[in-house]
């Protein structure tokens, strides 16, 4: 009997460790983790919006406040309907990360970017896992609908991290028609915009173009190559603009 109990315990332990590191094992667990992550996104981004020196970082922080603020409100509504409890304060890990940011002696840009990279990696894992295997239909739908935005955020912060954040407040250089879209060591780089299956929705494409400094974005259509094309204004001038599946934005295209 003891051997059987030990075997059952070992099997249960193995199943636990087989789960993704940031997966949720119940509806309440998902709400706890998603709410804590969402609150951290807003709180940390408020710090960065006020104190970051790089404009690209400040712009990203503002988008996190807007997007995660809306997602947090939606999660709270669904959790209330499902009689689930939404935590009102951060867990210990996120509190420690927030303290690190608040107490940074130098510019917060680099620590904020790294915290955002980690946070979005965890969030994408959590939402992907629950969208696939979650035990609550409404929360599964919420996870599935929120996931594309989280992935877009992840692409944005990885791009900022790859470009490097300045300490002088200078914005990262904008993508141009001669900027390589793919970096390799032994092959020629195709120029953007790059054809390919484009997962951006029209709203996401518009947001991404606006985040790059364009306004009055209109007439967006996705062509047969998977490239969003439309009209926009920048520096007081009207121009055509294109967004490819990699997130490259190119002005003056046909």
Per-residue pLDDT at 23? 67
- Express each pLDDT in 185-239 by its tens digit: 333 334 567 787 777 888 888 888 988 888 999 999 988 888 889 999 988 889 9
Per-residue pLDDT at 86? 94
- Express each pLDDT in 107-132 by its tens digit: 899 999 999 999 999 999 999 999 99
Three-class secondary structure of residue 60 per DSSP: helix
Compute the distance between CA of residue 22 and CA of residue 37 in angstroms, rounded to an integer. 11
- Residues contacting 240, CB < 8 A, separation 6+: 229, 230, 231, 232, 251, 252, 253, 254
Q: What is the mean pLDDT of the chain?
A: 80
Per-residue pLDDT at 10? 41
Please report which helix (H) or strand (E) contains residue 194, including its range. Answer: none
- Residues contacting 189, CB < 8 A, separation 6+: 180, 181, 182, 183
Indicate if the pLDDT at residue 91 is higher than 80. yes
Per-residue pLDDT at 253? 59
- Express each pLDDT in 148-182 by its tens digit: 999 999 999 999 998 764 433 344 444 333 333 33
Q: What top-level class would CATH report for the domain 17-163?
A: mainly alpha
Tokens of 42: 């807003």
Per-residue pLDDT at 5? 45
What percentage of the chain exceeds 70 in pLDDT? 79
Compute the distance between CA of residue 63 and CA of residue 56 in angstroms, rounded to an integer. 11
Position 9 confidence tier, pLDDT thresholds 50, 70, 90: very low
Per-residue pLDDT at 59? 94
Per-residue pLDDT at 157? 93
- Whether this prediction's pTM lies above 0.75 is answered by no
Contact 166, 229 (CB under 8 A): no
Per-residue pLDDT at 191? 59
Domain ranges of the chain: 17-163, 174-254
Residue of 35, 23, 27 whose CA lies nearest to 128: 23
């Amino acid at each position: 009997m003891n051997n059987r109990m030990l075997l059952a315990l070992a099997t249960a332990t193995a199943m636990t460790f087989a789960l993704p590191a940031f997966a949720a094992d119940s509806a309440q667990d998902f709400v706890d983790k998603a709410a804590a992550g969402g609150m951290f996104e807003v709180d940390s981004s408020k710090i960065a919006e006020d104190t970051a020196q790089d404009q690209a970082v400040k712009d990203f922080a503002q988008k996190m406040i807007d997007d995660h603020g809306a997602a947090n409100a939606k999660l709270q509504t669904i959790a209330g309907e499902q009689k689930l409890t939404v935590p009102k304060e951060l867990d210990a890990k996120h509190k420690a990360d927030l303290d690190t940011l608040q107490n940074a002696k130098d510019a917060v840009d680099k620590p904020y970017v790294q915290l955002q990279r980690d946070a979005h990696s965890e969030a994408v894992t959590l939402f992907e896992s629950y969208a696939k295997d979650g035990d609550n239909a409404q929360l599964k739908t919420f996870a599935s609908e929120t996931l594309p935005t989280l992935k877009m955020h992840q692409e944005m912060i990885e791009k900022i991290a790859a470009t490097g954040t300045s300490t002088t407040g200078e914005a990262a250089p904008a993508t141009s028609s001669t900027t390589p879209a793919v970096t390799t060591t032994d092959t020629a780089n195709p120029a953007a915009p790059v054809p390919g299956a484009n997962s951006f929705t029209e709203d996401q494409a518009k947001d991404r173009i606006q985040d790059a400094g364009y306004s009055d974005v209109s007439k967006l259509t996705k062509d047969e190559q998977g490239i969003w094309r439309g009209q926009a204004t920048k520096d007081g001038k009207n121009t055509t603009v294109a967004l490819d599946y990699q997130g490259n934005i190119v002005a003056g295209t046909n």
